[in-house]
Amino acid sequence: MALRLGDIAPDFTAETSEGTINFHEWIGEGWAVLFSHPSDYTPVCTTELGAVARIKDEFDRRNVKVAALSVDPIDSHHGWIQDINETQNTTVNFPIIADPDRQVSDLYDMIHPNASDTFTVRSVFIIGPDKKVKLIFTYPASTGRNFAEILRVIDSLQLTAHHSVATPANWENGQECVILPSVKAEELEAKFPKGHRVIKPYLKMTPQPNLN
């Protein structure tokens, strides 16, 4: 059965390019991004892993660990990492999970038979400190992922986890937020000391509450 938002992310133990990990222990008390690749030595994936390595400090700043996955074995991963470092002018600084028996791919429903019987699709899972799945993206093999969008979503998820707001269309960190309709009128002043504006009774906006 496919994973859905709010499900506990399946735990697993696997070999990676940085040693053996137990996934839930590896996540710890923070957040995690798990993203899969059809196979090693593929051109789009090579650019993606290089892109993540170059912005890993942005994930670190948000207390987010990143792990990639490919169905190829560890020896292949190590050779591929050398190519990524060379061609993308970076150093891969996060683990790549080896999944030759498709254990993790099956747990996370990463193989879509109508796309390929053997290769994983480009899946992205964002997982919270409670080990629950907060977001699922699925890209076709032909389309590289937008990691700026993944960071934007993480900002939204971390904000809305602690404040009674949602983020509107095309929201960027620092912009106004939507006040949840569940917030009562008598609670507005206390919950949103920066103020708010009413567009419609069901549509109220406030400055981003977690910024000084």
Known catalytic residues are 45
| SS3 category, 133 | strand
As a whole number of angstroms, the distance between CA 124 and CA 127 comes to: 10
| SS3 category, 179 | strand
As a whole number of angstroms, the distance between CA 134 and CA 129 comes to: 10
Provide the token pair at 62.
């948000």
Q: Minimal CA–CA distance to 208: which of 162, 148, 154?
A: 162
As a whole number of angstroms, the distance between CA 141 and CA 137 comes to: 13
As a whole number of angstroms, the distance between CA 28 and CA 199 comes to: 41
Q: Minimal CA–CA distance to 135: which of 155, 115, 117?
A: 155
As a whole number of angstroms, the distance between CA 203 and CA 205 comes to: 7
What are the phi and psi torsion angles at 82 (to 5°)?
-60, -40
